[in-house]
Amino acid sequence: MNNSLSLTLDAFYTETSVTFSAEFTEDQFYLDHQLQDPKATIKVSRFLDLARKKADCPLFAVVKSQNFVPTAAGLASSASGLAALAGAVSAALNLDLSPRALSRFARRGSGSASRSIYGGFAEWEKGDSDETSYATKIISDGFEEDLSMIFIVVNDAQKDISSRDGMQRTVETSSFYDGWLHSVPKDLAKAKTAIAAKDFIALGEATEASALKMHGTTLAATPPFTYWSAESMKAMNLVRQLRSAALPCYFTMDAGPNVKVLVERKNEEKILNELAKHFDSTQLIVAHAGPSIEILAAEEA
């Protein structure tokens, strides 16, 4: 329904290997070294079916995936996981997909994964068909290297309401949804203008405003819900206080309780020290701009 913009980060990633073999009698999916149940595996199998059809391959596969991201906690594990799966499947079947085609393929598993194919800033073009819905890299002349993202992990447990279920409820029932949707193009234009101008303040303002509007739509859903917790509110208020104290920083949030703080790299240490006065050091994770998807040697995957 709308375009969206992301910044690929180095601190959260997924490593995945896929092996097809005539010896396998069913698909198997291992996540963090644990064999997954049929419910979790069927989602992977459906994605594999897309590639099997494209490659005319009848073989079952074993998928081994390790998340260096807490799963389903609002820290973009699906974006990372499905981008890695798309890349691994493409490599295993020698599909030789271009970045755009790989982005389209990843999108079939998770919309946000379409952006995670690229390093730095990327924009998912909503399109109006499978062929026109994919992500593209945003040229920023290295602006992303000036930025840091500090994660305040207030809860890394699995969410009560998944992103998919929460968005579906919001789209179908929230009276605020249309207003948010109408505002997205303007917010994206502001963000892209800020990136082109290397204007941190403008990028931060657009990012924070967009996040607040998105989360506002959940409050008007039926039944209403929110991903925020008391600790989320504490973190957001602290960011506002730091900004008032002449330490520029802005928050954003995915569909989860954890708060991400966008800061300039030159101010990273100062702001991290301030946050450490209110949150345990184990709750604070610093990330910087990350690379595009990488194919590792088989023994490293």
Interval 195-213: pLDDT, tens: 999 999 999 999 999 999 9
pTM of the model: 0.90
Distance of alpha carbon 133 from alpha carbon 96, whole angstroms: 19
Interval 267-296: pLDDT, tens: 999 999 999 999 999 899 999 999 999 998
Distance of alpha carbon 239 from alpha carbon 274, whole angstroms: 10
Burial class (CB in 10 A: 0-12, 13-18, 19+), 104: buried
299 pLDDT band, cuts 50/70/90, is very low
Interval 48-101: pLDDT, tens: 999 999 999 999 999 999 988 655 445 657 899 999 999 999 999 999 999 999
Q: Are strands 28-31 and 34-35 parallel, antiparallel or unpaired?
A: antiparallel
Average pLDDT score over residue span 113-142: 97
- Is residue 3 pLDDT above 90, yes or no? yes
Average pLDDT score over residue span 241-247: 97
Distance of alpha carbon 167 from alpha carbon 2, whole angstroms: 13
The pLDDT score that the predictor gives to residue 165 is 87
Domain 143-287 has CATH 3.40.50.12780: no
- What is the residue extent of each domain of the chain? 4-137, 143-287
CATH architecture under which domain 4-137 falls: 2-Layer Sandwich (3.30)
C-beta of residue 17 within 8 angstroms of C-beta of residue 295 = no
C-beta of residue 123 within 8 angstroms of C-beta of residue 5 = yes
